[in-house]
Amino acid sequence: MKILCFDTTAKTATAAVVTEGKILAESSVTIGLTHSQTLMPLTDGMLKAAGITLSDIDLVAVSHGPGSFTGLRIGIGTVKGICQGSGKKCIGISTLEALAYGYEGQDVWICPVMDARCNQVYTALFEGRNSLTGGINRLWNDIAMTIDELGNNLGQPEIPVILTGDGAELVYKALAEKIPSLRLAAPGLRLQRASNVGFAALEHLKTEEPVSPDLIMPQYLRLPQAERELLAKQQATAK
């Protein structure tokens, strides 16, 4: 099965084609342009360089959140357009789960953290399985919390805890002295990779069915800033 995969949930726009246990092609850019400017050109170039056409693709996978509100809409909108035009089905994958797949098969805990601003992060916790079985086990659901709350919830685990994602350095600086088992992922392993979205999708397909594109929706975890500000004004006015 060939899966075309996308992640636009943070500063990196990334696309890939994966099959079971193999990356056939992958392309990423982190240059500050909007994903609407970069995603399709890099995808078209990647497919052309690999000699892959859309007719070769069996399924489309996308990170459906949490993440940047604009980035999520661009990525999911792109997938909807591709699937509606080609009749293909798709699957949505947690951004945090996809980040954790960078450590599949390692005997560690994996804590993906994305900077949600205002001293908050989007986070979850996963357990890497041993190298013989591979895969990951989810320990926490995706959630938004403060960095202090994350530290309290992690406690003092004896097993190494790998911090990955764009909030990893922020959390490491805040919590490393309190939690000695924390480890900071190398810079190249903190960025979103579409191939990890694909490998997570392959695991999900063992127990889930792909869906039509109209059923893929963003998973925000919290309201967009504009809606939060409006709600705060309404609450202040009501007092």
Please give the C-alpha separations between residue 100 and each of 174, 191, 203, 235, in angstroms, as whole numbers. 21, 11, 13, 38
User: Are 179 and 151 in contact, with CB atoms under 8 Å apart?
Assistant: yes
* Residue 58 DSSP symbol: -
- What are the structural domains of the chain? 3-95+192-230 (3.30.420.40), 97-189 (3.30.420.200)
Per-residue pLDDT of the chain (239 residues; tens, 9 = 90+): 999 999 999 999 999 999 998 999 999 999 988 999 999 999 999 999 999 999 999 999 999 999 999 999 999 999 999 999 999 999 999 999 999 999 988 889 999 999 998 899 999 999 997 656 667 999 999 999 999 999 999 999 999 999 999 999 999 999 999 999 999 999 989 999 999 999 999 999 999 999 999 999 999 987 555 444 444 455 556 65
